Amino acid sequence: MMFKIAGSVLVCLLIATGLAENGSLVQGMERSSRLQATGPEAVALVSPCVQVGSEEPLPPWPVAPGDGDTVNSIIPTLTVMGSAPVALYQFRVYEGSSIAAEGLSLFPSWNVALGGRPLQRGHDYTWTCRMQDHRGWSPWFSPSWSFRVDAPSSPPEPKLPSDGATVYLNRPVLVVKPLGLEARYRFRVYSGRTLVAEGTSDLPFWQVGEPLAPGGPYEWTCRAEFAGDTTSWFQPRWRFEVREAPGRDAVAAVPGAVTGRVVASPNPFRDRVRFGSDGTGPVRVELYAADGRLVYADEQVGAGARLVWDGRDANGRPAAPGVYFGRVISESGVESLRVTKAR
Let me know whether 39 and 127 are in one domain: yes
pLDDT of residue 37: 41
- Confidence bin at 79 (pLDDT 50/70/90): very high
150, 229 contact by CB (below 8 A): no
Residue 92: which pLDDT band, with cuts at 50, 70 and 90? very high
Task: Looking at the structure, tell me whether residues 286 and 199 fall in a common domain.
Answer: no
- Rounded to an integer, the average pLDDT of 183-187 is 88
Which segment of 9-13, 66-70, 100-104, 121-125 scores lowest on mean pLDDT?
A: 9-13
Q: How many of the other CB atoms lie within 10 Å of CB of 37?
A: 16
* pLDDT, mean of residues 326-343: 73
Please indicate, yes or no, whether residues 6 and 144 belong to a single structural domain of this protein. yes
pLDDT digits (tens, 9 = 90+) for 23-65: 444 344 444 434 444 333 333 343 344 445 557 888 999 999 9
Instruction: Name 275's bridge partners.
Output: 264, 307
Q: How far apart are CA 199 and CA 325, in angstroms?
A: 18
Of the ranges 32-41, 73-82, 89-98, 330-339, the best mean pLDDT one: 89-98
Q: Closest by alpha carbon to 144, among 158, 131, 130, 162?
A: 130
Q: How confident is the model at residue 118 (pLDDT cuts 50, 70, 90)?
A: confident
Are 10 and 102 in a shared domain? yes
Final residue belonging to a domain, choices 186, 209, 242 = 242
Number of domains, the chain: 3
pLDDT confidence tier of residue 220, bands split at 50, 70 and 90: very high
**What pLDDT, on a 0 to 100 scale, did the predictor assign at position 187?**
96
pLDDT band at 75 (very low <50, low <70, confident <90, very high): confident
Average pLDDT for residues 163-187, to the nearest whole number?
Answer: 82
Specify the CATH number for the domain of residue 130.
2.60.40.10
Q: Assign 252 a pLDDT band (cuts: 50, 70, 90).
A: very low
Q: Both 7 and 137 in a single domain?
A: yes
CATH of the domain at 281: 2.60.40.1930
What's the confidence (pLDDT) of residue 28?
A: 43
Mean pLDDT for 151-157 is: 77
pLDDT of 233 above 80: yes
- pLDDT tens for 253-281 read 333 333 446 778 888 888 888 877 766 56
Reported confidence tier of residue 83, pLDDT bands at 50, 70, 90: low
pTM: 0.41
Q: Are residues 257 and 229 in the same domain?
A: no
121 with 172, same domain? no
Q: Are residues 34 and 144 in the same domain?
A: yes
Same domain, 7 and 124: yes
Picking from 212, 242, 272, the residue at the C-terminal end of a domain is 242
> What is the band of 134 on the pLDDT scale with cuts at 50, 70, 90?
confident
Residue 179: phi and psi, rounded to 5, are -90, -10
The answer on 36 and 114 residing in a single domain is: yes
The confidence score (pLDDT) of residue 309 equals 85
Pairing of strands 88-95, 61-64: unpaired
Q: Which residues contact 178 (CB under 8 A, 6 or more apart)?
A: 156, 204
pLDDT at position 119: 85
Omega cis (within 30) before 161: yes
Say what the pLDDT of residue 305 is.
Answer: 59
Residue 7 sits in the same domain as residue 144 = yes
- Quote the mean pLDDT of the chain: 75
Pick from 87, 119, 149: which residue ends a domain?
149
pLDDT band (50, 70, 90) for residue 125: very high
Domain with 306 in it = 248-341
47 shares its domain with 141: yes
The 3-class SS string of the chain reads CHHHHHHHHHHHHHHHHHHHHCCHHHHHHHCHHHCCCCCHHHHHHHCCCCCCCCCCCCCCEEEECCCCEEECCCCCEEEEECCCCCCEEEEEEEECCEEEEEEEECCCEEEHHHHCCCCCCCCEEEEEEEEEECCEECCCCCCCEEEEECCCCCCCEEEECCCCEEECCCCCEEEEECCCCCCEEEEEEEECCEEEEEEEECCCEEECCCCCCCEEEEEEEEEEEECCEECCCCCCCEEEEECCCCCHHHCCCCCCCCCCCEEEECCCECCCEEEEECCCCCEEEEEECCCCCEEEEEEECCCCCEEEECCECCCCCECCCEEEEEEEEECCEEEEEEEEECC
